[in-house]
Amino acid sequence: MLELILKPYFVCCNPLIGLIVPALLILGNKSFGISSSFRHVCAACMPSNIPFFKYDWKKERWNLFFVAGIMAGGFLAVNLLSASTKVDINPSLAASLNEKGITDFSGLVPADLFNWNSLFTLRGFIMMVVGGFLVGFGTRYAGGCTSGHAIMGLSTLQLPSLIATCCFMAGGFIMANLILPYILSL
């Protein structure tokens, strides 16, 4: 029942994200992005003599509230709006994943891959720890995350954001089609 009540809200979220970009630019000359909030948290919680964290992070408090709202929304969605049915996937994909030992499709991610026990396997370590490190490193190396470059950077016609977004897409294609099948066979 709650899903039916909140469905119109989720339908209008995408246009709202699109309207956030010009609103941030017009109202405060701010840029939209999520990855910089980790830097703000580190600057606030670990005051030290590291030059990268020596800046006025309080000017970016709005970004921390935005990220807190994302986290609260994710918590509410998982706990109040989650469907109790299995995720519908293509039967040929299910057969291919079954060959690799992935049979539990009850959640948004396969529980056979993403759980505490699989973290201590080679496949789980590569996917969760190495993958997480590469995402974090790539975000810093590219100067922002997919939301910052693809939503904010492209809408303000920045060439580095176009290049970064093309690289994100190419990396995702290579990972999903060339590297992931090898990792899943471990």
- The answer to whether the predicted template modeling score (pTM) of the entire model surpasses 0.85 is no
In the structure, how many helices (H) and strands (E) does the chain have? 12, 0
Q: What is the pLDDT of residues 72-112, one digit of tens each?
A: 988 887 788 776 667 778 899 889 888 888 888 877 788 88
Inform me whether the pLDDT recorded for 9 exceeds 70.
no
Domain boundaries, the chain: 1-82, 113-186
Distance of CA 101 to the CA centre of its chain: 26
Output 137 or 4, whichever has higher pLDDT.
137
